[in-house]
Structure 1
Amino acid sequence: MELAFERRGTGAPLILVHGIGHHWQAWLPVIDRLAASRDVIAVDLPGFGRSPGLPEGTPYTAESLADAVEEFCERLGVREPHVAGNSLGGYIALELASRGAVRSATVLSPAGFWSRAELLWCQAVLRGLRASAMALPPEQAARSARSPLGRALSAGLLVARPGRLDPAALMASAEALVGSAGFDETLASFSGLMPPAPPKVPITIAWGEHDRLLPCRQAVRAAKWSGQRVKLLKGCGHVPMSDDPDLVAELVLAATARP
């Protein structure tokens, strides 16, 4: 299907996939670093950002969103790309790796490795963040984004260093969250989400040491599932691209250097 996307750079193709309620701009802090040596394609998932929703009758699940990304690559003529994903995007990247549809997958705090209590926490936090964003008048939201305390309150559960966030970028992400047509159904589908089948291609899993949405103890389960050590991203939260762009770019470039 046709999806909104941003494409920069030259080299081996690299698809970037955002988390639930976000948009491709989640990758802005690292995209130019990656584009220096990769053909980077940051995509808006169906029903998020500027992409249209899934076709009528198609449920919003991680698997159907992965189908859409795979179809998008085919329409774009991109064969066997590398893929990197964060949160829900991380799960989608693992799903594509399990299908053998990508060359490699790099995943940052992927969804799906939670306990029941951790799943309920994740869903409650995300619902609360969206409800707060929807309830806040635009003028008040703008003032909050300019305030260190406001940034801490609105993004402190997602990033470890909310004070470093650009107010305009924070406003844009809040607008994307409010406008996410696929949010509610996708979030509800998390209740049935299980780790995908074993990957058929190389994968790299990393976790923010200060992830408050999907605590890094979930990395132990991801390590057991993958049979490999999970890399710990020091000083980073759930969306590490905002906390340490250099560290994340270095990780993705190293993982996608494989032939």
Structure 2
Amino acid sequence: MRYTTRVEDGIRFVDTDPRGTGAVYLLVHGLGGSLEQWIPVIGLLSPAVRVIAVDVPGFGLSRTRRGDFDLASAVARISDLLRRLGVGRCVVVSHSISCVVAAGLAAARPDAVKSLVLVSGALVRASEIAQNPFLTLRYPRLGTVVLAQFLAGIAPAPKILLKALASSATLRAVTLWPFVARPASLPTEHLVESLTGSGSLAVLRILLTANAIDYHGLLSAVEQPVALVIGDRDRLIVADDIARLRKIMNVTRVSVIRDCGHWPWLENPAQLAQLLTATE
């Protein structure tokens, strides 16, 4: 399903109900992604709720050749967009490391953010490795997957490659193993569309300046209730991540998607959409 995108203040976004009726969900894509990653989920959510999905400034069609990205600026611009769209209270749904964008928005706009849903966002140990790569020597498997996540997000994926992935189980198995539980048998009907627009040099900038992002501080500043959605085979989330996150956030619900990796929006969008509406 295709949606008409709009651009305001350089932010490209989809708004499924500009009239502003009903509950509102703001969807924030993950590292190197674009709003297209949410298209399957938007289609499942939009009959019941208003869905706004954004290209985080610096990513998607707002990416620049230099890879410009500033977390505080991104949060401020998304906050301004919510004001212009007349959003009073919303559920902010983020994927992966964009939990820091969601957390920054929740702390800055408690009037506008009702709650958070962190999808694949329990990345306590992974964030520590990103900030201190020498920890890879202690956790080599996790460190390898963290590096793969960053490297995969740097360059835009050519449409010809995405089509090749959709048609070849072998190619998916070779390239997508860090991201999904079963790459060879991954449902491919949304693969090309969901990964279109992904890739940005901003990913490299974030990797090189990871120490400047206060992951723990940003998340601990959130006062709103937080729901976690994780895949049981997510290679980026280790056993004690959830326990550690509970100590710094008001985690009220943990939902597990079975036989799923780091990309539930692609691997099982129907169950993800069901879990999201259950938080309302």
Q: TM-score with structure 2 length normalisation?
A: 0.76
CA contact (8 A) 1:210 1:216 kept: no
Cα distance, 1:8 vs structure 2: 1.7
CA distance in 2, matches of 1:111, 1:61: 22
User: 5 Å matches for 1:76-225?
Assistant: 76-99=85-108, 100=110, 101-110=112-121, 113-114=124-125, 116-117=128-129, 120=133, 121=143, 123-130=146-153, 139=160, 142-162=163-183, 163-166=185-188, 169-171=190-192, 176-178=197-199, 180-193=200-213, 194-195=215-216, 196=218, 197-215=220-238, 217-225=240-248
Deviation at 1:4, TM superposition (A): 0.8
Q: Which runs of 5+ in 1 are unaligned?
A: none
**Structure 1 residues 137 and 17, CA gap change in structure 2 (3 angstroms):** closer
The alignment yields a C-alpha RMSD, in angstroms, of 3.0
Alpha carbons 1:8, 1:32 under 8 Å: kept: no
Asked whether 1:254 is paired with 2:266, we answer no
Query: What is the correspondence of 1:38-49 to structure 2 with a 5 Å cutoff?
Result: 38-49=49-60
Q: Distance in 2 between matches of 1:211 and 1:118?
A: 17
Cα distance between partner residues in 2 of 1:217 and 1:148: 33
8 A Cα contact 1:222 1:230, kept in partner: no
Letter in 2 for 1:28: I
Distance 1:66-1:41 versus aligned 2 partners, 3 A rule: same
CA distance in 1 between partners of 2:203 and 2:193 (Å): 16
Identity %: 28
Shift of 1:45: 0.7
1:133-187 per-residue CA deviation (whole Å, 9 max, x = no partner) reads: 66x87656643441011112222211223332427x5445555334x24222123
Cα distance, 1:109 vs. partner? 1.8
The one of 64, 73, 77 aligned to 1:68: 77
Letter in 2 for 1:166: T
**Aligned with 2:23 (options 12, 37, 42):** 12
When residues 73 and 44 of structure 1 are mapped into structure 2, their CA distance, relative to the original with a 3 A threshold, is: same
Count of aligned pairs between the two proteins: 250
Matched letter for residue 129 of structure 2: A
Structure 1 CA distance for aligned equivalents of residues 98 and 149 of structure 2: 15
- Measured in 2, the distance between the counterparts of 1:50 and 1:203 equals 29
Q: How has the CA–CA distance of structure 1 residues 90 and 231 changed in structure 2, closer, same or farther, with 3 Å as cutoff?
A: same
Moved more, 34-43 or 114-123: 114-123
Partner Cα separation in structure 1 for residue 123 and residue 75 of structure 2: 14
Q: 1:170 to 1:33 in 2, by over 3 A?
A: closer
Structure 1 residues 231-250: aligned runs within 5 Å: 231-250=255-274
Which 10-residue stretch deviates more, 180-189 or 40-49?
180-189
**Structure 2: tracts of 5 or more residues without a match:** 1-8, 134-142
User: 1:86 offset after TM fit, Å?
Assistant: 0.7
Residue aligned with 2:175, SS? helix
Question: CA, structure 1 residues 59+79, in 2 after alignment: closer, same or farther (shift >3 Å)?
Answer: farther
SS at structure 1 position matched to 2:229: strand
Q: Which amino acid aligns with 2:37?
A: A
Partner of 1:2: 10
1:43 to 1:148, Cα distance in 2 relative to 1, 3 A? same
